[in-house]
Structures are given as structure tokens and as C-alpha cells.
């Protein structure tokens, strides 16, 4: 894969200006390649200029520059380098025409081709972000060379074609010719096309055509959800028009749900593409519907921030993603029935940012340009920092500036840079001008630094008064701290209902994070401790960051922890409960709270929790991290028993039909945690959970997968289920189940499918994920021991051969689940390999480094638990010996008395 450096991009942007692309694609040439003819009109700003165009073709047929055909004697070299050199350009206007055959992708990059096993129909879509446009057309592929795009397509006559603008059939119907309306100036990574026999539902809103599109086999499920999807779309569209002065800048708004999509969605202007799992064919919780709604709101926000105004270089990814993430959650809260979106953000998305920010691979939200030297480095920064941490920083900025000044700055930014490119400095200038605040200093301390601050309270009571000292420290690696504007919640037990908590008061506080005053000049703390004094009794619970307006780990003082152990589910606000659960999660990860104590809290309070996002988030952490990673192996069975008991309580609570989402969340986690196959087999054979729900395809595959792990399913069972559900999701379920079988032959077959280099057909990106996800199971570590040392060289080889998407899949889902020193040593040796042929690709290296650091943390937590167990055993042994000595002494005394 060709990598573009920042220096090359800057040089090219200085030398040329791109005006227009005319692209003609022929999608009727078979299963492997398609025709691509690209005409680019551009200007050279200097005489005798040398530059290049990116192109990754299967075959290169013609290159014509200003009417002069260029020789292609070295076509093979050009194809290998993925660049066409353009040398000695005269100053002024030029036209380049490139004719090539391009490869279809099976990895979700470039032009992805998918054949639906349900009906044999074929679907195509593009994913050009961030540097994969050259797999579709010849391009000056960098974000600050915007141009008008005009696309023409030849497709099978029965197909539908969708693009960034309104697509129209031209010519005779049997010719299959389509023209897509020219776009305003956009970046190459935002060019989008979808083609195939898509099922479409259309409407109109605010004078614009809106459309929803999905493959035909999912048509009934889209039809069932179309009104909900349109309602969310309309509400978000109208809200953005209320707060943004710039109107929606494109001619239509299509949302295509496409198969085997690597991301959640992609903000292509006028044609947003989503993974088609968002068209639900099985039951989902309300939290999952809220997530889908948030993604719709997120991608629509990009139409302004990202598409209308685009970053100049990839160091400013956060300008796109953090803004869209913040606006997505905020807009849902303001305009839809989803009013607790920030609780979901806190318990699910924010942890993504916290975890990423504590690994060696952390980076600033807005890295310095030299920290993103090329597109390979930039690709790695689409992570929890650019999304969740950046959105948290913006939420804190809004808390400091106020929403009015924040939106005024945003609108200034749009007006100044519409259909152009902008940097962090441009963005901050607009906010500073609108607010009159020193936003530049705020940005330096929030956006240019790494790590997570920790806020810890110490409470001292003295008669009728009490004080709270808030200790503020930065990350262990940097020591840097940030200013925080937070709310502190003071909660007491309700006298008539002691398991409930009521808010006594909510106090605002400024933590400067450094000596001196707060950024707006008001007095604050000294950078390490802020002392607050109060009159009256101390509260039962003091909750820092109540409302979750800042990005920091918080701790609870001993008295407050006793309160939440007793009454966490009695906190009246879902966001406050999310803050507490996050605090407990962080304390477990940092070795300050025993994993068993977290499980005990979940056991006590989840059966009474009403927020589904919290239930799902807590159960997921308990199941995948505590049970599988943080507890010593000999305690895993007891942990799974606690989790299944918690799920049973939720099932009993909802057996009257109330809370179907809670019930579904409980069923899913119960299935994944079950250690006995009999009950699951009864559910599968009866096609229902007693008391509901009936088993839909997703639940059937999940149950069969767990039965496979437990050795209670056979290949014939899997084949029978696949005959029942032959969809693409069924194919993935079957692959996952086959890989999960505790059988040596099944493991060899799965391994070969993932990593073999015999030249046979290779798995698609989704089948790689499914197979890898089924392969490693904690119950099967003995069977899998031989594959641990084989994993690292195999992952390096497949990532080099198949590219970033597969690298990410085999590292994310295929990393060994063994928590031991051997796996850690092998992983560290892989990262430090001197031989270039054994070294991981950049995409694989980043994901492996994260996995290895998480493994290192899990080992530390386990070691702490084992040390605590040894201490308790020693104390118990000492107690037992003392008791034996006392008994012996008592017996001797009795003998003497008797004598």
C-alpha cells in the first residue's frame, strides 16, 4: 500500500490546484475487476513542476497528459509503486486521462464486492477513506486538494446506482448507464458510490430527497424500521439547521446500509454508508437503537464539520471525529426520545478513550504535525482518543465557554472555510473571537497533551463542619494536568428509604491543574489540591464530576464507597450512576479495587438498574475483562456463576413482560457465561427462552456458539443451523461456531482459513473476524497452547499480505486470550524483531502494542489478586495455629484441673 507523507502532500498542494474529476466506471466486466477512466483537470502554479497521481490498478492501459499519450514501458513498476509521475509540467491548466482496470476488494477497502449468500445477488460500494481512493480512480489523494467530482457508471440494467449527488439513469434502460450530479468541491477520501439491486425507501424533507438503501434480502427489516430511521434523520437535520447558519451543502441525503463494512459508518457527503448490522433482523435493546440513532446524528454532523470544512492534513482527524461525536450525543438528547445519551457515552464510549489514553500508543487529541508524518501513521489515530476523548474535551470546553459562544465560534468557522480546508489553529481562532476567552491556552493544555488526570477526594469532619480536599494529579507518564470545571454532587440516604439517595446539593468547582488562576481568571486550586469547606454533616456520598462534564478518572473516599456498595442503584440520575460505575471500573484496572468487589457490586445493583446502557456496559466488563482476564484462572468459574446469577435476577424481574431490553441483555450475557450446556440446549431445541424471548437468528447462533465452546455441539448441528439461516450473518455464525469447537481438526481448519498461504480463496474481512473470534476460548487453553507461539509470525505475514483491515481484524479478534507471561514475552519479542520480514506492519504493530499492554495490565491485576490471596491464606493459617495453640493450652489446663 502506497503511503503519502505530509511533506509530499504539502509540496504537491503548493505546486498544483485541482479543479475537476470526471470518472467513468464500468461495473460489468466480471467478478474480479472493473473499468476506471479518470479525467482530471488541474493547474500547475510553477513552471517545470514535478508531481504525481496515486493509482492502484490491476492493469494500466493508457495515460494521456494534455492530449499526449505517455509511454507505459514501465507499467509494472508504476503499478507496484501505485504512483504515476507527472514531470516537467508547464505553469497553467492541464488535463490528465488515465484508463485502467481496478480490482474489487474483499476487505472493505476501495471498491468492495459482496455476493449475498441468501439470494446470490451482488452489491458494490466504495470506501475511499483515508487513502484508498486510488483503488477506484486515479487521484491526487490528499484532503486539501478538493475538487468537483462528476461520476458516470455502467452497471447491469437491473441495478441501482447511488453517489454523492443525485444519480440519474441516462440512455436506454438496457444500457445500464447512470450519471451522478456533480458535487461541490470535496476531498478525494469522501467520494462514494454504491451499486447493486438495492432495495430503497425514499421520502422528501425540506425540499431534498432522502433515501434509505439496503440489499434485497434485508428489505423487510428496513421497511419495518424505515419510519424510525427517517424520524431520527429529520429531527437531526432540523436541529442542525437551527444551530448552524450554513445550510446543508449538498443536493440529497442518502443512507446506504452496506455489507461487510469495516467502520460503523462513513460520512460521504450525500451518501452516508453504514454497516448493515444497523438494519436489525433480530431483537435489539433500546440502547442499541440509541447507538444507531447516535451514529446517524454523528454522520450528519460531518456534512458540516468534515465535508463542508475539511482538515488540511490528517493530524487534525479529531476536528472531524470529536466534533461529530459530541454533536451526535448532544443532538439526540435535545431532539429525540433518547434523553440519557450521555449516560451511554459515559459507560461505553468514554471508556474507549480512557483505555487508549493509558497505553504506550497514546497520542494527543490534536497531535503536532510531525507526529503524523504520513498516511500510515494517520490511519492509526482513528481511535478512542480522536473520538471519545476529543468529544469529552469539547464537552468540557462547552461547559467553560457556554453553548452560545461555542456555537457562535462554530458558525464563524463554517463561514470562513466553507468548501475549503482548515486547521486546529483556524478552529481555535474562531472560538476565541466569538467568546473573548483564551481558548489557545485551553487547547494547548487539553488537546496537545496525553494521559488521564485523576481526581481523588479526602473528607475530614470536625463537629458541625467538614472539608473536602480534592487531589488532582496527572498521568504517571507525563505528570501533566489540565484545568477542569466540574460539578460535585452531595448525596444523602433518604430517611424513609435508606437504599435510595437524594441530592443535597451540587457544587461547581474549578481545578486549574497548575499554579495560578483558572483560564478565565477566576481563582482556582493550586494545581494539586483544592480545599472546599462546608457547614453541616458530611454527605453520605461525595461524587466528583457529577454530570460527567469533564474527562478524568475519579476516586471515591472510603465513606462514599461504603454508600455506593449499599445504594448505588438508588442514585436518582443515570449519568451519576455511570460516573460511579466508571470509577469502580478504573479502580479495578488500576489495582485499587478487587475484581471480586466489582462483581459483588454488580450482583447487588444490576438487578435494580433501569438504564439498559449501564446494564450492558457493566455486564460486558464483568464478563470479558474480570472473568476472562483479571481474576486468576481458578476463580473464573465462580465469577461466571456470579454473572449468571445476576442475569437470572434480571430475568425474574422482567418475566412479567416489562423491560424487554433488560431481559434481552440478561439473556445474551447468561448465554455467554453459562458453564452447563443442558439449559442452553433446552432453549435451542425449544426455540425460546422460558418466559421469552423466542429465539431469533442472532440468539440461536449465540447459543450454538456457546454450546460449541463447551463441547456440546457438533459439526452436524452447525450445518443444520446454517441450513436454517443461510444469510451472510449465518455464514459468519457458522464460521465462528466451527472455530470454537474443542477439537484439534476444527482448530487446524480454522487456523488454515485465517493464515494459510496456499493460494486458495481468502476469507472476507467479516469471515476473518468471525473465525478469529471463535478460535480462542479460555475454556480451551490446553488445546490451543501450540498456537500461541505460532500466532505472532502468522499475524505478521497475513497483515503484510492483505493490508490494514485484515491486520486490524487478526490483532483485535485473533490475539491469544491466554493471560500468562509466555504470551507477553512472545508479543514483546514480535514488536522488537530486528528482521524486517518478521516485523509487524504499522497497522498490526499498533493493535498488537495495545493488546500487549492490556495483557501486561491484566497480569498486574492478577498478581495483585494472587498476592492478596496468599496474604489471606497466611493470615488464616496464623489464625488457625493460634486457635490450635489456644485449644491445646485449654486442654492442658483442663487436665491439670482434673488432676
CA distance 825 to 849: 12
CA distance 707 to 713: 5
Cis omega before residue 130 (within 30°)?
yes
For residue 74, how many C-alpha atoms fall within 13 Å in the half-sphere facing its CB? 9
The backbone torsions φ and ψ at residue 54, rounded to the nearest 5 degrees and listed phi first, read -85, 140
For residue 219 the three cell numbers come to: 428489505
Cis omega before residue 693 (within 30°)?
yes
For the chain, the farthest-separated pair of C-alpha atoms sits apart, in whole angstroms, at: 124
Q: Which residue has the cell 432522502?
A: 210
Q: Sign of dihedral through CA atoms 838, 842, 847, 851?
A: positive
Beta-strand relationship, 420-422 and 484-494: unpaired
CA distance 337 to 880: 60
Beta-strand relationship, 177-180 and 59-65: unpaired
Beta-strand relationship, 68-69 and 59-65: antiparallel
What are the angstrom distances between the C-alpha of 794 and each of 457, 563, 787?
A: 48, 50, 10
Q: Which residue has the cell 464500468?
A: 26
**Catalytic, out of 54, 150, 277, 299:** 299
Length of the chain measured in residues: 899
Beta-bridge partners for 614: none
CA distance 681 to 620: 23
| Active site annotation includes 325 | no
Q: Which residue has the cell 481438526?
A: 745
For residue 164 the three cell numbers come to: 454523492
CA distance 101 to 30: 11
The backbone torsions φ and ψ at residue 17, rounded to the nearest 5 degrees and listed phi first, read -130, 130
Using the CB atoms, write b or e for 580-593: b if 16+ within 10 Å: bbbbbbbbbbbbeb
What are the angstrom distances between the C-alpha of 496 and each of 500, 501, 538, 568, 857?
A: 9, 11, 19, 17, 43
Are 262 and 129 in contact by the 8 Å Cβ rule? The answer is no
Residues designated as active site: 299
Amino acid at each position: 500500500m502506497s503511503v503519502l507523507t505530509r511533506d509530499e502532500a504539502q509540496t504537491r498542494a503548493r505546486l498544483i490546484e485541482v479543479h475537476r474529476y470526471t470518472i467513468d466506471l464500468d461495473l460489468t466486466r466480471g467478478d474480479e475487476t472493473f473499468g476506471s477512466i479518470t479525467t482530471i483537470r488541474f493547474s500547475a502554479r510553477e513552471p517545470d513542476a514535478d508531481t504525481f497521481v496515486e493509482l492502484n490498478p490491476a492493469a494500466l492501459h493508457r495515460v494521456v497528459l494534455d492530449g499526449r499519450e505517455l509511454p507505459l514501458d514501465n507499467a509494472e513498476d508504476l503499478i507496484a509503486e501505485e504512483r504515476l509521475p507527472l514531470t516537467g509540467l508547464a505553469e497553467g491548466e492541464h488535463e490528465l486521462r488515465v484508463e485502467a482496470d481496478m480490482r474489487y476488494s474483499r476487505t472493505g477497502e476501495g471498491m468492495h464486492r459482496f455476493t449475498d449468500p441468501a439470494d446470490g445477488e451482488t452489491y458494490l460500494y466504495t470506501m475511499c477513506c483515508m487513502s484508498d481512493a486510488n483503488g477506484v480512480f486515479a487521484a491526487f489523494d490528499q484532503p486539501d486538494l478538493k475538487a468537483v467530482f462528476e461520476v458516470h457508471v455502467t452497471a447491469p440494467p437491473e441495478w441501482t446506482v447511488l453517489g454523492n449527488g443525485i444519480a440519474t439513469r441516462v440512455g436506454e434502460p438496457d444500457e445500464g448507464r447512470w450519471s451522478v450530479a456533480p458535487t461541490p468541491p470535496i476531498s478525494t477520501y469522501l467520494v462514494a458510490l454504491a451499486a447493486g439491486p438495492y432495495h430503497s425507501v425514499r421520502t422528501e424533507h425540506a425540499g431534498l430527497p432522502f433515501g434509505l438503501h439496503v440489499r434485497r434480502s434485508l428489505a423487510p427489516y428496513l421497511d419495518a424500521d424505515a419510519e424510525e430511521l427517517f424520524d431520527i434523520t429529520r429531527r437531526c437535520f432540523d436541529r442542525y439547521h437551527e444551530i448552524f447558519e450554513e445550510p446543508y451543502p449538498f443536493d440529497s441525503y442518502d443512507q446506504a446500509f452496506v455489507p461487510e463494512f469495516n467502520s460503523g459508518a462513513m460520512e460521504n457527503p450525500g451518501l452516508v454508508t453504514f454497516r448493515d448490522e444497523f438494519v436489525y433482523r433480530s431483537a435489539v435493546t433500546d440502547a442499541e437503537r440509541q447507538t444507531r440513532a447516535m451514529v446517524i446524528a454523528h454522520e450528519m454532523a460531518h456534512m458540516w464539520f468534515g465535508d463542508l470544512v475539511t482538515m488540511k492534513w490528517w493530524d487534525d482527524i479529531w476536528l472531524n471525529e470529536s466534533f461529530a461525536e459530541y454533536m451526535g450525543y448532544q443532538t439526540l438528547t435535545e431532539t429525540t426520545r433518547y434523553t440519557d445519551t450521555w449516560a451511554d457515552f459515559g459507560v461505553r464510549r468514554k471508556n474507549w478513550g480512557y483505555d487508549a489514553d493509558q497505553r504506550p500508543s497514546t497520542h494527543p487529541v490534536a497531535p503536532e504535525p510531525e507526529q503524523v508524518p504520513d498516511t500510515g501513521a494517520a490511519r492509526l489515530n482513528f481511535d478512542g482518543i480522536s473520538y471519545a476523548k476529543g468529544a469529552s474535551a469539547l464537552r468540557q470546553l462547552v461547559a467553560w465557554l457556554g453553548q452560545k459562544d461555542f456555537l457562535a465560534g462554530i458558525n464563524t468557522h463554517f463561514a470562513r472555510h466553507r468548501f475549503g480546508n482548515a486547521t486546529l489553529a483556524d478552529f481555535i481562532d474562531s472560538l476565541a473571537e466569538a467568546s473573548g476567552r483564551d481558548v489557545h491556552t485551553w487547547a494547548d493544555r487539553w488537546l496537545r497533551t496525553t494521559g488521564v488526570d485523576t481526581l481523588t477526594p479526602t473528607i475530614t469532619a470536625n463537629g458541625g463542619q467538614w472539608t473536602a480536599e480534592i487531589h488532582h494529579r496527572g498521568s504517571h507518564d507525563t505528570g501533566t494536568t489540565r484545568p477542569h470545571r466540574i460539578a460535585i454532587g452531595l448525596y444523602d440516604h433518604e430517611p424513609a428509604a435508606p437504599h435510595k439517595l437524594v441530592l443535597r446539593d451540587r457544587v461547581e468547582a474549578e481545578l486549574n491543574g497548575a499554579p495560578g488562576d483558572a483560564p478565565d481568571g477566576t481563582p482556582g486550586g493550586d494545581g494539586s489540591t483544592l480545599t472546599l469547606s462546608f457547614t453541616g454533616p458530611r454527605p453520605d456520598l461525595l461524587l466528583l464530576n457529577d454530570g460527567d462534564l469533564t474527562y478524568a478518572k475519579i476516586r471515591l473516599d472510603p465513606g462514599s464507597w461504603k454508600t455506593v456498595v449499599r445504594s448505588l442503584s438508588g442514585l436518582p440520575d443515570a449519568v451519576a450512576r455511570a460516573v460511579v460505575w466508571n470509577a469502580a471500573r478504573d479502580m479495578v484496572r488500576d489495582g485499587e479495587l478487587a475484581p471480586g468487589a466489582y462483581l459483588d457490586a454488580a450482583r447487588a445493583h444490576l438487578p435494580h438498574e433501569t438504564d439498559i446502557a449501564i446494564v450492558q456496559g457493566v455486564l460486558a466488563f464483568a464478563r470479558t475483562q474480570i472473568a476472562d482476564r483479571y481474576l486468576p484462572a481458578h476463580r473464573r468459574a465462580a465469577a461466571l456463576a456470579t454473572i449468571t446469577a445476576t442475569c437470572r435476577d434480571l430475568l425474574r424481574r422482567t418475566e412479567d413482560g416489562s423491560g424487554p431490553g433488560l431481559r434481552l441483555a440478561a439473556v445474551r450475557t447468561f448465554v455467554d457465561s453459562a458453564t452447563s450446556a443442558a439449559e442452553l440446549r433446552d432453549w435451542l431445541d425449544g426455540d425460546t427462552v422460558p418466559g421469552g424471548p423466542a429465539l431469533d437468528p442472532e440468539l440461536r447462533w449465540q447459543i450454538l456458539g456457546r454450546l460449541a465452546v463447551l463441547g456440546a455441539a457438533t459439526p452436524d448441528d452447525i450445518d443444520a443451523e446454517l441450513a436454517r439461516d443461510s444469510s451472510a450473518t449465518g455464514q459468519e455464525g457458522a464460521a465462528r461456531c466451527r472455530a470454537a469447537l474443542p477439537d484439534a481438526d476444527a482448530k487446524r481448519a480454522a487456523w488454515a482459513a485465517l493464515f494459510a498461504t496456499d493460494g486458495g480463496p481468502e476469507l472476507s474481512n467479516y469471515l476473518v473476524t468471525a473465525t478469529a473470534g471463535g478460535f480462542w476460548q479460555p475454556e480451551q487453553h490446553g488445546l490451543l497452547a501450540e498456537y500461541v507461539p505460532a500466532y505472532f509470525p502468522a499475524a505478521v505475514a497475513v497483515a503484510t499480505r492483505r493490508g490494514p483491515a485484515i491486520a486490524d481484524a487478526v490483532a483485535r479478534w485473533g490475539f491469544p486470550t491466554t493471560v500468562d507471561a509466555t504470551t507477553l514475552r512472545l508479543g514483546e519479542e514480535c514488536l522488537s524483531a530486528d528482521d524486517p520480514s518478521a516485523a509487524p506492519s504499522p497497522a498490526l504493530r499498533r493493535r498488537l502494542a495495545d493488546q500487549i499492554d492490556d495483557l501486561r495490565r491484566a497480569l498486574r491485576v492478577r498478581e495483585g489478586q494472587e498476592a492478596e490471596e496468599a496474604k489471606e491464606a497466611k493470615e488464616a493459617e496464623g489464625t488457625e495455629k493460634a486457635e490450635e495453640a489456644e485449644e491445646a493450652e485449654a486442654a492442658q489446663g483442663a487436665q491439670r484441673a482434673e488432676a
